[in-house]
A = this chain, B = another copy of it.
Amino acid sequence: MRTAYQEQLQRLNTILGDMCELAGAAMSRATRALLQADLALAEGVIADHDRMNALATQAEEQAFAVLALQAPVAGDLRGVVSAFQIVGDVDRMGALALHVAKVARRRHPAKALPEEVNGYFAEMGRLAIALAHNAREVLNSLDHEAAARLQEDDDAMDDLHRHLFTVLMDRDWDHGVAAAVDVTLLGRYYERFADHAVMVGRRVFFQATGKLPEQFEDAS
């Protein structure tokens, strides 16, 4: 039988999962805005950012309610505290999608990206959206193996990010410094988005097992 504590924690994780989905949807639209120089899409991401703040407040209130009403101890207490940390991570994912949208808006009607790096950003966008989606899934399932797998998508993101730098550093780069600065910052936004999704996975792993992935391997 599920305890009242478990039910409240599940409700909390549902809100956190909704935040992840919102961050993923924002990154999806921001990436299209970036690739297609679509001002309306960029403006939409910027206008909708308040919804993320509202969900973050709701998640924190729910977490305080669990702490205050259930007075969890030991592992349960750590689970609730990790929820506050997840709010911080997902909030940041939303802020990074917002940054991408703002670059697209700033460069409109021009495209921020030179044609030759479009493919990198299309793929980094795809990975970011998948990571946000998978973060939501594991928040709902508390499946610790799936939570640990978020690291693999992040490894793919890191690879892309490294390749992007080799394109930038190539002597044939003829798009100037301004485009290089945009590409550098945009690459960093996607990479950090993925890092935060991985952190969500690590915290869910901890909620589910009481250990971090590397401690779990040590112990098994």
Contacts and interface: CB of A to CB of B under 8 A. Distances in A.
Interface of A: 63-64, 67-68, 71, 73-74, 77-78, 81, 84-85, 88, 165, 168-169, 173, 177-178, 180-181, 184-185, 188
- Of A63, A77, A184, chain B has the most CB atoms within 10 Å of the CB of A184
A73 B77 contact: no
The dominant DSSP class at the A interface is: helix
Given A68-B73, A77-B67, A84-B84, A177 B188 contact: no
Number of identical protomers: 2
B85 A77 contact: no
17 contacts: A63-B81, A64-B77, A81-B84, A85-B85, A85-B88, A165-B181, A168-B177, A168-B181, A169-B177, A169-B181, A177-B177, A177-B180, A180-B180, A180-B184, A181-B181, A184-B185, A185-B188
A177 B181 CA distance: 8
A181 B188 CA distance: 11
